[in-house]
A and B are shown apart, each in its own frame.
Chain A
């Protein structure tokens, strides 16, 4: 079974750094794009960017370029989303999701989500 399992909820203070993870299993991790999607409280889904773990090629939404870093460690089948200096406005649920075909296509499956709360 293809699965993406994300790291647990985080509570951080403004200005702190954070790295959350998404571990893939049940498929060849290096062969499929992984995306990160933000969902702010009570709001819709926003595409943040993608990574191809085979060569770590990344692409970011203009809205998130320079705000976050997407990376992957193919030796442990894990993708990451990180911040160097969190803001209260980063409070949201973050999902990872796999493109089963190519980066122009659907997302399936999704991780269970990681809730990030940034508060002083």
Chain B
């Protein structure tokens, strides 16, 4: 299993708000390493969505927001749109592994 834990799936109706959690431990998120989020539309490469816990790259709508507290982080998506259907992954650094770690991914369904 993955070092970072995410729910396998979340869903919401258009216009609603959903959150995706990412739980780590004292050797990664809890050690102060930043959390980053990626969106992967099926058949395409992952794309950076949120970096350094809360920052959005240029071009990412402000409907997407990130937060971090203790050993966990969250991605919130408000005003859900059909185009938001994708897989979402969190990523951080783990001092025990001395390398990057990913969450197992969360599939978002827009009902």
Contacts and interface: CB of A to CB of B under 8 A. Distances in A.
A19 interface: no
A112 interface: yes
A112 B99 contact: no
Contacts, number: 62
Interface in A79-120: 95, 97, 103-113
A61 B89 contact: no
Interface residues of A, number: 24
B7 to A, nearest CB: 13
A106 B99 contact: no
B46 A47 contact: no
B102 A49 contact: no
Interface residues of B, number: 24
B36 to A, nearest CB: 4
Interface in B28-86: 33-34, 36, 38, 45-48, 51-52, 57
Chain B interface, >50% SS class: strand
B46 A45 contact: yes
Interface of A: 35, 37, 44-47, 49-50, 59, 61-62, 95, 97, 103-113
Interface of B: 2, 33-34, 36, 38, 45-48, 51-52, 57, 89, 91, 93, 97-105
27 contacts: A35-B100, A44-B105, A45-B38, A45-B91, A46-B102, A47-B99, A47-B100, A59-B98, A61-B97, A62-B97, A95-B45, A97-B46, A103-B93, A104-B33, A104-B34, A105-B34, A106-B36, A106-B51, A106-B91, A107-B38, A107-B100, A108-B48, A108-B51, A109-B48, A110-B47, A111-B45, A113-B45
